[in-house]
């Protein structure tokens, strides 16, 4: 593989960073609030709600994200063909074209958001449960309402407690976006792999070059940046800790 | 006028009856000390009065407002939510382990409730908080976070926080049990000053000398009962019941 080819490949990969970041950004945007809601549902005192939430978290954390992506993308035709599928659902599904890019992108988001919300939910639940009960009592004794107590007293302390675990999750999310190439969705990994195979056929090259393109080198550069940012947040909030 | 009337209060945790037939009154300006061995129900009683635990029977009246009553069918019921909330604002509670909000500065710890709950003006609340901090000898600590303060300082902040809502009656749940003897002195001094100002207070404590000095009335509790109640001279004197004398003897030795 010539230098020129390598530079073309890298340029192409650069071009496909935005779609990758799009998955990353939207997933964060939706999964964090959803995760908070799921965490609160799981702690709900009404048991059936808590059980259902538990099953959701169990499935989402217990099956591979790749499988969830494939189900999200390809499930529609199978449901349509299934026996006993009600007519209204069939009509609804008939209107869906799974081959469009928008559909693929939306389904990727659905899978990512549902998956990450489950992980975030467990992190948030841990954070909420680690706030000492005395904080609730003090707030109650001072006359704060339940909503005020949650948003003014509890949530700020929860955020501080979940920063380290959440930044882990966020870094993982950057790298998990490469799974979308399996659907297939045109992001960095997809381009790198396909283009590289092209080049591999046209010329012989060493395995070293292979590994360069195979891993998402570019995106991995983002991970240290994220890590640095989370360290800053950690430092800022360190004062809170008692 | 009685600031607090408790009659036949009872409370159980499952099988365990922790409060049995507790009755006492607190008059305006009175300082009441509650003493007794650990596990005798002192804290639970305070928590029932402050709505942190649900009582099972009896009646409670705070500042002339019924909080817990027996209804016509003889069942024990609480007042409606609005009344309960009003009662909470009339009472202040100081915890054994302070329970300050760690993510707020000392000043915000004190102003948060007046601003958010009583909807007071921010500047006005700040001025008042600074006044309270000065009274507690902490005027230079307003921008510190709770974790930067010593235990005694934290407890003084939490007293200031309770006072910021201008409660009519103040409860202390073992305010000095988490502190060493030197810091204990700081807190007891503050409580003595409050007593001199005419604050109505109920103090659960293990500081016998302090209870004797400051209290107008001392309640001795054991196994969920009030064993003896009276002026400090009576309880700490030779006419006290045998059990009280036995308990105090062990404390002094």
CB atoms within 10 A of CB A241: 13
Which one has a higher pLDDT value, A116 or A94? Answer: A116
Instruction: With cut-offs at 50, 70 and 90, classify the pLDDT of residue B96.
Output: very high
Which strands sit side by side in the sheet containing B31-35, from one edge to the other? Answer: B91-94, B169-173, B200-204, B31-35, B217-222, B225-230
Whats the size of chain B, residue-wise? 253
Question: For the ranges A80-84, B83-87, B209-213, which has the lowest average pLDDT?
Answer: A80-84
Residue entry with tokens 């799981």: A42
* Shortest CA gap A94–chain B (Å): 53
Quick one: pLDDT at residue A215?
46
Question: For the ranges A99-108, A134-143, A216-225, B212-221, which has the lowest average pLDDT?
Answer: A216-225
Share of chain A above pLDDT 70, in %: 80
- What is the C-alpha to C-alpha distance for residues A150 and A154, in angstroms, rounded to an integer? 5
Share of chain B above pLDDT 90, in %: 74
CB contact under 8 A, B116 and A153: no
User: What is the average per-residue pLDDT within B33-52?
Assistant: 92
Over residues B113-126, the pLDDT tens digits come to: 999 999 999 999 99
CB-CB contact of B163 with B129 (8 Å): no
Task: Write down the domain spans for chain B.
Answer: 101-166
- Interfacial B residues in 223-242 facing A (CB < 8 Å): none
CB-CB contact of A91 with A148 (8 Å): no
| Most confident listed range (A88-102, A138-152, A196-210) | A138-152
Judge whether residue A240 has pLDDT over 60.
no
Quick one: pLDDT at residue A223?
59
Quick one: pLDDT at residue A241?
47
The crossing angle, in degrees rounded to 10, of helices A155-176 and A222-237 is: 170
Q: Using a CB-CB distance cutoff of 8 angstroms, which residues of chain A are in contact with residue B102?
A: 157, 240-242
Smallest Cα–Cα separation from B28: which of B172, B198, B218, B194?
Answer: B198
**Helix, strand, or coil (residue B104):** coil
Over residues B164-206, the pLDDT tens digits come to: 999 999 999 999 888 888 888 889 999 999 999 999 999 999 9
Which ipTM value was assigned to this complex?
0.91
User: What is the average per-residue pLDDT within B29-57?
Assistant: 92
Quick one: pLDDT at residue A191?
75
Instruction: With cut-offs at 50, 70 and 90, classify the pLDDT of residue A178.
Output: confident
Instruction: With cut-offs at 50, 70 and 90, classify the pLDDT of residue A98.
Output: confident
User: What is the average per-residue pLDDT within A9-18?
Assistant: 82
Judge whether residue A164 has pLDDT over 60.
yes
Instruction: With cut-offs at 50, 70 and 90, classify the pLDDT of residue A183.
Output: confident
Instruction: With cut-offs at 50, 70 and 90, classify the pLDDT of residue A16.
Output: confident
Quick one: pLDDT at residue A184?
77
Which one has a higher pLDDT value, B249 or A71? Answer: A71
Q: Using a CB-CB distance cutoff of 8 angstroms, which residues of chain A are in contact with residue B85?
A: 143, 145
Which of A135, A148, A241 comes nearest B101 by C-beta?
Answer: A135
Long-range contacts of B64-72 (CB under 8 A, 24+ apart): B64/B1, B64/B2, B65/B90, B68/B9
CB-CB contact of B96 with B147 (8 Å): no
Over residues A19-67, the pLDDT tens digits come to: 889 999 999 999 999 999 999 999 999 999 999 999 999 999 999 999 9
Strands B65-70 and B76-78: antiparallel
Quick one: pLDDT at residue A213?
47
Planar angle of CA B88, B90, B91, nearest 5 degrees? 65
Quick one: pLDDT at residue B252?
67
Quick one: pLDDT at residue A162?
95
Which of A132, A137, A157 comes nearest B103 by C-beta?
Answer: A157
* Shortest CA gap B151–chain A (Å): 12
Chain A residues with CB under 8 Å of a chain B CB are: 132, 134-135, 137-145, 148, 152-153, 156-157, 160, 239-242
């Amino acid at each position: 593989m010539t230098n020129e080819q390598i530079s073309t490949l890298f340029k192409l990969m650069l071009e496909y960073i935005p779609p990758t970041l799009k998955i990353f950004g939207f997933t964060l945007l939706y999964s964090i609030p959803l995760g908070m809601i799921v965490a609160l549902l799981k702690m709900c005192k009404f048991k059936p709600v808590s059980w259902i939430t538990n099953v959701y978290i169990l499935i989402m954390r217990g099956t591979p994200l790749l499988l969830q992506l494939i189900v999200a993308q390809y499930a529609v035709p199978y449901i349509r063909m299934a026996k006993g599928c009600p007519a209204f659902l069939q009509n609804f599904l008939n209107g869906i074209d799974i081959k469009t890019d928008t559909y693929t992108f939306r389904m990727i988001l659905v899978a990512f958001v549902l998956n990450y919300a489950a992980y975030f939910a467990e992190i948030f639940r841990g954070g909420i449960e680690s706030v000492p009960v005395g904080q609730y009592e003090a707030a109650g004794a001072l006359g704060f309402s339940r909503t005020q107590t949650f948003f003014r007293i509890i949530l700020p302390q929860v955020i501080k407690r979940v920063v380290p675990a959440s930044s882990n999750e966020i870094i993982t999310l950057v790298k998990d976006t490469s799974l979308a190439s399996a659907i297939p969705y045109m992001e960095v990994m997809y381009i790198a792999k396909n283009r590289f195979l092209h080049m591999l056929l046209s010329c012989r090259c060493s395995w070293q070059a292979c590994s360069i393109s195979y891993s998402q080198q570019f995106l991995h550069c983002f991970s240290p940046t994220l890590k640095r940012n989370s360290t800053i947040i950690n430092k800022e909030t360190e004062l809170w800790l008692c | 006028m009685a600031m607090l009337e408790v009659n036949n209060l009872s409370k159980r945790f499952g099988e365990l009856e922790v409060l049995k037939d507790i009755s006492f009154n607190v008059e305006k300006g009175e300082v009441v000390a509650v003493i007794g061995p650990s596990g005798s129900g002192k804290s639970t009683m305070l928590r029932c009065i402050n709505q942190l635990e649900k009582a099972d029977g009896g009646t409670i009246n705070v500042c002339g407002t019924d909080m817990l009553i027996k209804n016509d069918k003889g069942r024990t019921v609480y007042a409606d939510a609005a009344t309960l909330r009003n009662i909470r604002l009339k009472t202040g509670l100081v915890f054994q382990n302070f329970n300050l909000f760690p993510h707020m500065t000392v000043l915000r710890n004190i102003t948060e409730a007046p601003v958010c709950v009583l909807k007071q003006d921010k500047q006005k609340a700040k001025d008042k908080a600074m006044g309270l901090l000065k009274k507690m000898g902490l005027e230079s600590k307003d921008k510190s976070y709770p974790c930067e303060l010593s235990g005694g300082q934290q407890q003084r902040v939490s007293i200031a926080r309770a006072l910021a809502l201008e409660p009519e009656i103040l409860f202390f749940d073992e305010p000095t049990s988490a502190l060493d003897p030197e810091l204990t002195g700081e807190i007891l001094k503050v409580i003595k000053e409050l007593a001199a100002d005419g604050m109505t207070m109920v103090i659960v404590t293990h500081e016998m000398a302090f209870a004797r000095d400051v209290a107008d009335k001392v309640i001795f509790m054991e196994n969920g009962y009030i064993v003896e109640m009276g002026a400090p001279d009576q309880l700490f004197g030779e006419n006290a019941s045998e059990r009280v004398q036995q308990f105090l003897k062990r404390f002094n030795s």
